[in-house]
Amino acid sequence: MAGANTRHLTPVNYKPLPETNMAERYDAVTTEKRWQQRWDESGIYKFHSQPQGRKYYALTMLPYPSGNLHMGHWYAYSPSDTSARFMRMRGYDVFFPMGFDAFGLPAENAAIKRGINPKHWTYSNIDYMRSQLKAMGMMIDWEQQMVSCDPEYYRWNQWFFIQFYKQGLAYRTFAPVDWCPSCNTTLAREQVKGEERVCERCGTPVIKKDLDQWLFRITKYADELLDFSGVEWPERIMAMQRNWIGRSEGAHVTFTTEDGDPIEVFTTRPDTLWGATFMVLAPEHPLVERLTTDEQRAEVEAYKLAASRQSEIERQATDKEKTGVWTGSYAINPVNGERVPIWIADYVLMGYGTGAIMAVPAHDQRDFEFARKYGLPTPVVVQPEGQNLDGATITEAWPGGGVMVNSGPLNGIPAGKEEGESVKAAIQWLEEHGKGRTAVTYRLRDWLISRQRYWGTPIPMVYCQKCGEQPVPEDQLPVELPEDVDFMPTGQSPLKLHPTWRLTTCPDCGGEAERDTDTMDTFVDSSWYQYRYLSPHFDQAPFDPAIGERWLPVDQYTGGAEHAVMHLLYTRFWTKVMRDLGLVSFGEPMRRLFNQGIILGEDNEKMSKSRGNVIDPDHLVARYGADSVRLFMMFIGPWNQGGPWNNQGLEGTVRFVNRAWNIVTEAGKGGSGGDPQELRRRTHRTLKKVGEDLERFAFNTAIAALMEYVNDLYKQRETAVYNTEAWHEAIRALTLMLAPLAPHLSEELWSRIGGEYSVHLQPWPQYDEALTIAEAIELVVQVNGKVRDRITVPVDTSEEQIRETALGNDKVQASIDGKSIAKVVVVPGKLVNIVVR
RNA sequence: GCCGAAGUGGCGGAAUGGCAGACGCUGCGGUCUCAAAAACCGUUGAGGGCAACCUCGUGUGGGUUCGACUCCCACCUUCGGCACCA
């Protein structure tokens, strides 16, 4: 760190202020406004399309323009801005852009409820929120802003859609899909949350509908999305994505009905095939119709009807008793030729695997419960070591290991998935006999992107009676949203009800055709916005490749963890497609990710209007200034933990701002005592600590260190070190260290001590390692691990000398009390531990 | 059930093998003031002692170590995600 390029602090710029009797109070509110204006005018945050030196792309999740910045925004943005400023002082050319995720339902709902035009509503919100963001003191170049509802942005959503379509990555299908009855639109599987299966944005339970919908083939990238090599993301997010993708290895096995129809099943335990005594199909399985015998038809139909009427939640309740109905038919177990009855049951889902399973009741708890209920046999084929399970008497399934029994060629092989174990052997046998093959399934579904709403990107497809579906030619993009639309929530896309918009001509034959009237999921907008920031008005491609080459990818992304399996998965997918399209040379959009926690109300509950615990940042800023609010956001605790707001806690950082102001601007009395060298040590130790803490996003401890430092300076000011060079160095260092954390205060202080505009263009002061080392150090002296005394010794004291000093210590002698000394542990710089018996 | 995070004073938290509780809030005492606010100074884990000091203490129980909030094993609790996923 403190190498040849060390920039030592020089106190030359410090001009002592004239002594005044009356201390000037810091007026945060007017000072902040003044500097914000100056920053704007002087363009110190201007983006460089050619980075000056090492580039650092710091990105934070963009807001939805709801019309007001809340505490959550402050909690997300204060530290990310501080970090960006810090990196800039560390010598990087930092790009820290901001934009608006401007498509979405609230705009449309405002139109429905209050008759306001969604576009006007959105843009006036954006104007207001931009002024709020400026009031936070963020380091944003607003020239680089992107707004997703601008045609110049969503034009490229449409362009991407067409590229996806050409690559076979976008396709339309008619299928049962999740529908939110409150938002009146379909949702992607990721956007249905929890056991209650509720809509991600409004919390309403979703229902199933059969609809024609566009999907993106994210499943094609499932395996690649499981690979996180080369990125530094929180373990939690990677685990959630892995979990969501749900890769599961096993085999496809083909059973045959007595009529000769194949039924394919997926299993992770092909080794237990010899213990399969029945099959179960999902009630919706297409073969059920043909398999059902006349005698069983009434019962099967009744069961299917009942299953279809059950809500998804009821059906998927894990604790529900298993139910099912026999179809009347049998299949042949391919490994041993046995006849096994084919049942239908709602615990088998059409949406996973093949919608059909082989049931091995002795080794799968679900199958076991089902078999016991309906009197089906439960033969054991895996015998756990040292036991002798009997299929007739077991009371639960044995899913664990052991040795294969009653399994023909597998007998005697140890059960397991490893090389030389039963699963591999079974797959080999199946492949050799043409009865099955190794297979992988995923829980991940393709990304459904059609939305039956107005305020989004029109899907650039037209439907011609003669030529079928046709993409809109790229030179006709964007397909613009019409403004004269009725916003009645009918459950159909408002665009469908527009008298003329949907009528167009076929790009192929020129005949009459209709546009797709759905719009895209707004998560499409945020899947690639980080690229658009680089050149928000570029009209030849989604972004200017020359700038992209210099600035991409994002070095540090920050945002909430709630996007783990939505936005953060989609944007990884999108980047991989962009790579395959030749637009970028990398496959991961963000090298590092940090998830901030959630700021809570004073009652430790999530802030909400209904709880009445919402704290309005604007009021606080108007009263205390933005710096104090920023500082408190960062001081609460580790950024990734979140935590409760506390109004009195804010007073603490307000006080700190005033104390920092006072120590820099107020003259001290001086006095006797004090050691300039000791002060320099404090200064350089603080520089080291604060720098290291900001580097690792430990804003809370960085601020604590600065508080300690200011407290110390208050004491030092009344000693002879006041107004020495060491003092001036300290004041200057303090001002610079405050710059990323409290940008307005430090700018004002910097100008007061004669610094050249701007403090935000200054390099971060380097500490001098040699100066951080004390001449004398205090060592703890322990006897049997208990602290008995502290001794102060010169830093270069030998171990032998330390040992003797410690042993000679009065208190130590008293504690030893004649016992024999077994061992003396000396840890240089830390302690001495004397072990006695 | 599986995966992940966390458990430390009255509160937010600090310490990643070496002085537990930095820093801040709250409370208590004081300076200033006619008074209050602000500001400043002191104090604030529990128990004991007139005192110097002593004992206990980081969810629980074990273990490793000269030494454990920190590492290992088992468990408890809370939060987040997933889940009849075959």
Give A40-69 pLDDT, tens digit per residue.
999 999 999 999 999 999 999 999 999 999
Is domain A248-441 in CATH 3.90.740.10, yes or no? Answer: yes
pLDDT for position A469: 94
CATH topology for the A28-148+526-596 domain: Rossmann fold (3.40.50)
In chain B, which nucleotides are within 7 Å of a protein Cβ? Answer: 2-5, 11-15, 18-20, 22-26, 38-41, 54-55, 66-68, 80-86
* Cβ of residue A439 lies below 7 Å from strand B: no
Residues 189-228 of A with CB under 7 A from strand B: 193-195
Tell me the CA–C1' distance in angstroms for A456 and B50: 79
Average pLDDT of span A498-506: 92
State the virtual CA torsion across A590, A594, A595, A599 in degrees, nearest 10.
-130
Helices and strands of chain A, counted as H and E runs: 26, 31
For strand B, which residues in window 573-602 of chain A come within 7 Å by CB? none
Can you state the angle between helices A725-738 and A743-752, rounded to 10 degrees? Answer: 150
Residue numbers 335-354 of A with CB closer than 7 A to any atom of strand B: 346-354
Averaged pLDDT, A592-612: 90
What's the CA–C1' distance between A711 and B42, in Å? 14
Which of A5-14, A44-53, A252-261, A316-325 has the weakest average pLDDT? Answer: A5-14
Mean pLDDT of chain A: 91
The whole-number Å distance from A729's CA to B84's C1' is 68
- List beta partners, residue A207: A179
Contacts of A644 (CB under 8 A, 6+ apart): A599, A600, A601, A602, A603, A604, A636
Q: Is the CB of A443 under 7 A from strand B?
A: yes
Per-residue pLDDT, averaged over A137-158, amounts to: 97
Cβ of A316 near strand B (under 7 Å)? The reply is: yes
> DSSP alpha helices (H): ranges in A115-248?
118-136, 151-166, 222-225, 235-245
- pLDDT over 60 at A8, yes or no: no
Distance in angstroms, CA of A702 to C1' of B14? 11
Nucleotide nearest to A345 (CA to C1'): B84
Nucleotide at minimal C1' distance from the A814 CA:
B53
Which pLDDT score, from 0 to 100, does residue A254 have?
Answer: 95
Helix or strand holding residue A313 (H, E): helix A312-316
A302 CA from B2 C1′ (Å) = 35
At A318 the pLDDT is 63
Transcribe A592-654 into DSSP letters. Answer: EEEEE--EE-TTSSB--TTTT----HHHHHHHH-HHHHHHHHHHSS-TTT-EE--HHHHHHHH
pLDDT at A6 over 60: no
Closest CA to A248 of A217, A231, A270: A270
Cα distances (angstroms) measured from residue A134 to each of A39, A196, A749: 10, 40, 20
CA distances (Å), A68 to each of A72, A125, A128, A144, A627, in order? 11, 7, 8, 21, 19
Nucleotide nearest A351, CA–C1', reads: B85
d(CA A363, CA A340): 17
Length, in residues, of chain A: 837
Q: What is the mean pLDDT of residues A394-422?
A: 90
| Adjacent-strand bridge partners of A513 | A464, A504
Residue A816 dihedral angles phi and psi, to the nearest 5°: -65, -40
The runs of H, that is alpha helices, within A167-264 are: 222-225, 235-245
Token pair of A611 as six digits: 């709880």
C1' (B34) to CA (A24) span, angstroms: 26
Sign of CA dihedral A762, A763, A764, A769: negative
Position A739 scores a pLDDT of: 97
**Is A11's pLDDT higher than 90?**
no
Report how far residue A834's alpha carbon sits from residue A819's, in angstroms, rounded to the nearest whole number.
11
Distance B23 C1' – A407 CA (angstroms): 67
Under the banding of pLDDT at 50, 70 and 90, the label for residue A672 is: confident
Residue A731 has pLDDT above 50, yes or no: yes
pLDDT at A412: 92
The domain made up of A774-836 has a fold known as Ubiquitin-like (UB roll) (3.10.20)
Nearest nucleotide from residue A561 CA, by C1' atom: B80
Which three-class secondary structure state does DSSP give residue A127? helix
Give residue A500's pLDDT.
92
Omega within 30 of 0 (cis) for the link into A329 = no
Residue A787: what pLDDT?
83
**How many other β-carbons are positioned within 10 Å of the β-carbon of residue A386?**
6
Residue A320 reports pLDDT greater than 80: no
> CA A182 → C1' B40, Å?
59
Distance (Å) from CA A51 to C1' B24? 40
Helix (H) or strand (E) holding A334: none
Helix axes A118-136, A617-624, angle to 10 degrees: 40
A359 CA: nearest nucleotide by C1': B86
Residue A317 confidence class, pLDDT cut points 50, 70, 90: low
Highest mean pLDDT among A308-322, A642-656, A818-832: A642-656
Provide the CA A808 to C1' B49 distance, Å, integer.
28
For strand B, list residues 625-684 of chain A whose Cβ lies within 7 Å of it: 635-638, 641, 643-644, 646, 648-649, 651-653, 655-656, 658-659, 662
pLDDT in tens, A747-781: 999 999 999 999 999 999 999 999 988 888 888 88
* d(C-alpha A45, C-alpha A40), whole Å: 8
**What's the rounded mean pLDDT across residues A512-536?**
96
Q: Are the CB atoms for A251 and A270 separated by under 8 Å?
A: yes
Please report which confidence band the pLDDT of residue A312 belongs to, taking 50, 70 and 90 as the band edges: low
CA triple A519-A68-A741, angle to 5 deg: 115
Residue A381: closest CA among A256, A278, A270, A252: A270
Confidence class of residue A804 from pLDDT cuts 50, 70 and 90? Answer: confident
How far: A297 CA to B2 C1' (Å)?
Answer: 38
Give 3-state DSSP helix, strand, coil % of chain A, rounded to 5. Answer: 40, 20, 40
End-to-end alpha carbon distance in chain A: 46
Task: Report the pLDDT averaged over residues A159-171.
Answer: 97
DSSP conformation letters of A5-22: T-----GGG--PPPP-SS
Catalogue the E-assigned strands of A183-276.
185-187, 192-193, 198-199, 207-216, 248-257, 262-267
Which letter, b or e, does each residue of A556-591 get, where b requires 16 or more Cβ atoms within 10 Å of its Cβ? bbbbbbebbbbbbbbbbbbbbbbbeeebbeebbbbb
| pLDDT average, residue stretch A616-623 | 94
A507 touches strand B (CB under 7 A): no
CB atoms within 10 A of CB A458: 26
Instruction: Check residues 674 to 733 of chain A and report those whose beta carbon is under 7 Å from nucleic acid strand B.
Output: 698, 700-701, 703-704, 707-708, 711, 714-715
Assigned CATH for A11-20+608-771? 1.10.730.10
What are the structure tokens assigned to A364, written together? 């799968």
The model's confidence at residue A24, banded by pLDDT at 50, 70 and 90, is confident
**Could you identify the residue whose CA is nearest to the C1' atom of nucleotide B24?**
A652
Domain boundaries, chain A: 11-20+608-771, 28-148+526-596, 155-217+446-523, 248-441, 774-836
| A157-A507-A152 Cα angle (round to 5) | 25
- Residue A835 CB lies within 7 Å of the nucleic strand B: yes
Q: Please state which of the ranges A19-23, A201-205, A235-239 shows the lowest mean pLDDT.
A: A19-23
Could you tell me which residue, A240 or A668, shows the higher pLDDT?
A: A240
Query: Model confidence over A250-261: pLDDT tens digits?
Result: 999 999 999 899
Give the closest residue to A90 by CA, choosing from A718, A695, A825, A750.
Answer: A695
Q: Nearest to residue A144, comparing CAs of A419, A449, A536?
A: A536
Beta-sheet pairing, A554-560 with A55-60: parallel
Express as a percent the part of chain A with pLDDT over 90. 72
SS (H, E, C) A267-311: ECCHHHHHHCCEEEECCCCCCHHHHCCHHHHHHHHHHHHHHHHCC
**Residue keyed to tokens 């909430």:** A560
